[in-house]
Amino acid sequence: MTSFKLSLRLKVVFVVLVVLIAVAASIWPAMLICRNHYQHGVKQALSDLNGRVSWGGRNFSFNFSRQTTFDDSALRRVLQVTDGKIYSLNISDTSVTDDGVHCLAGLHELNSLDLSCTKITDQGVACLQDLPQLECLNLAHTKVRGTTLNELEKFSKLELLNLAYSNVDDSGMTQIAKLRQLRILDLSGLSVSMAGLKQLASVWRLQHICLYDTSITEDQSRELEQLFQATIEVGVLRGKGGGITQKDGEKNHVK
């Protein structure tokens, strides 16, 4: 009797599985068609913005770099059309301001954000809220002074921060020292000293620091390498350096 009940249950489970597989097989093509229509619709709706768009299976990656006509209203339009499903957003060297950055709050899937060469200030940095997946942030060649860098502490996954040729100085090192997950940091072109940089010793994950166009010498860089157990890059780029913009340490030109 027990054997019969077990056999019956197995047959029921088998039938249920067959039905589920059949249903999935019937709706999967329709799901693919809907997804393709959605991707195409987004690209068409934003085609006049002249950006590069790619789809990663769940969300979009956008590159509007150097599109000077791309402004706050264009950014709001992108967010509205995509319903915030954005993984990577490059709006470097565009006309986006602090007002536009305010709209980025709540992008729960955003992993990489490039705001370099824009008019962003500390006020814009303070507007970056509720971005739990953010790992890479580029603020190079901006007017950021560092007074609100403590706002970045809530980004527990932030691994790369580029502040090259901004207005951050030694006073900002105290704030950066709170970003314990940082692995890559670009401080090229900043007015930083050894005393300021040594405050970063508490960021024990640091692996790579760029200090081009600073007052730090080769001998001092070797001292810092011993302190941080990290790679320190110094030298002269004369403001042309793009610094590090990717987590693998690859250097790209910001300008």
- β-bridge mates for residue 208, sequence order: 184, 231
What are the φ/ψ torsions at residue 228 (nearest 5 degrees)? -95, -15
pLDDT at 135 > cutoff 90: yes
pLDDT at 244 > cutoff 90: no
User: Mean pLDDT throughout 115-133?
Assistant: 95
pLDDT at 66 > cutoff 80: yes
pLDDT at 115 > cutoff 90: yes
If you compute the radius of gyration of the chain from its CA atoms, what whole number of angstroms results?
A: 24
Percent of the chain with pLDDT over 70: 77
- Reading the block at residue 147, the tokens are 């007074």
pLDDT at 152 > cutoff 70: yes
Q: How far apart are CA 101 and CA 123, in angstroms?
A: 9
Look at the block and give the residue holding tokens 């990656």: 61
Q: 32 pLDDT band (50/70/90 cuts)? A: very low
Contact 103, 127 (CB under 8 A): no
Q: What pLDDT is stored for residue 144 in this prediction?
A: 97
| 190 closest CA partner among 140, 136, 225, 231 | 140
In the 8-state DSSP scheme, what is residue 202?
G
Q: Which class is 154-168+178-255 in CATH? A: alpha beta
Contact 162, 252 (CB under 8 A): no
Look at the block and give the residue holding tokens 């941080």: 228
Q: How far apart are CA 150 and CA 90, in angstroms?
A: 23
Q: How far apart are CA 163 and CA 188, in angstroms?
A: 7
Measured from the Cβ of residue 147, the count of other Cβ atoms closer than 10 Å reads 17
Q: What pLDDT is stored for residue 13 in this prediction?
A: 62
Bridge pairing between strands 60-63 and 52-55: antiparallel
CA angle 229, 190, 246 (to 5 degrees): 60
Contact 140, 241 (CB under 8 A): no
User: Mean pLDDT throughout 54-80?
Assistant: 92
Q: What pLDDT is stored for residue 31 in this prediction?
A: 41
Tell me the pLDDT tens digit for each residue of 203-218: 999 999 999 999 999 9
Handedness of CA 93, 97, 98, 104 (dihedral sign): negative
CA angle 247, 250, 253 (to 5 degrees): 115
